[in-house]
Structure 1
């Protein structure tokens, strides 16, 4: 996909996840909207994957350590054909596979995640296995910024640098809000980039809602031989929905009928604008 196509796809995924959350009457809306551009860049442009062979040994791996924001991931996996799109209507319903966190009973999901602080350690193990088995796949791990308060994140960070895992890319969805408010009020993180650099990682800061920047950084990894990469993706919580952006209440707010209609109208207009931009270019 080119730049305009990626932006249009991200808008479509945001519309899908809002419909899904609205129908289920539950979900983590704000974080899923903020991470959509990250996942769109990875799944539609960067990662080497095959929906027809979800267990292909040389596939790139993605671990959603911030597993509570799974809605965008479910919508992308369905859109790519890992499972039928119709199944999105069962999200968080009794007996569904599509629960509120990644579930490895679903094709395309590597590990059950959601208990924050575990995803990076899992990713370190996968990346180390690739090195020792002589395989060329990369491992991408998406973390939340509130998750950085977990000590296990930093243990895994030390291990990733120690084993020189330059096939590992950690991504922080740095939207600066968590369930109880600002990350800096709950548990101050700054200077976060310097901390990761001190732990031996190659740190790159990007606009996490700019698919062009994200693609460039992801495709350049590893930019430093012998070092894992940490992408500080500076995002806006609730991105794409004007009245949800940077509003803590939208962490797990379910849109009502009126809010859904307004959000879909905004996203549809944005997609149409990007479509016109793509045609002009």
Structure 2
């Protein structure tokens, strides 16, 4: 019995890409359970009216889920406990670098090469890696020391099978590729107490998610999540990375693509059945 989830952020209206993701998760849950989770750790951008609209749009599409809905803003103690566990293992460090600092470090003449782009953007150059958690302050982010984390697991890399993209053929990154191509990712952003990578891992475990469904643009993030699951002794779910819904120019839909907001289709007289059919359901 699969347990899946759809986990939007209430920072804008849902669009066709969100509809496809939610319908995919519900379909793959089968006779199991489909959950809704609200990813609202960025309180500066989240709005209650968007959360209400998320529920309205999903119900209109014919989806339902058990209550109460999990909200990340209610789960900061759980994320802190995970951070504390990783800190006790000596795998984290505080980082005071701003984006401009990172750009400047990566563009220094001695680097001599174009920055490597990982799942979170340019791979962090390790400027603050020497710092101790004892020095952490309220304006610091918290990063994972990738090399130490891999050493702790005594692993030569991270592998996983995807149920949609090349099923049966393992996706693999070596330890060196994890270090050079992903790097020391942020586990807690300043002012938030967590990050997407940490919270999604902790929440999936708490909700007993057995099959993670999400867009193939997050395929590289899965290596990070499996690493964290193993470090925190959490269950590793199965993964299904689905195709992305794109606009007429071939770009992935974003929340700023208001012309494709579900609310506008609904208000324009299109039925939920027509939306589902247009997306292949």
Question: Do they superpose with TM above 0.5?
Answer: no
TM-score tier after normalising by the smaller chain length = 0.3 to 0.5
Name the TM-score, length of structure 1 as normaliser: 0.33
Name the TM-score, length of structure 2 as normaliser: 0.33
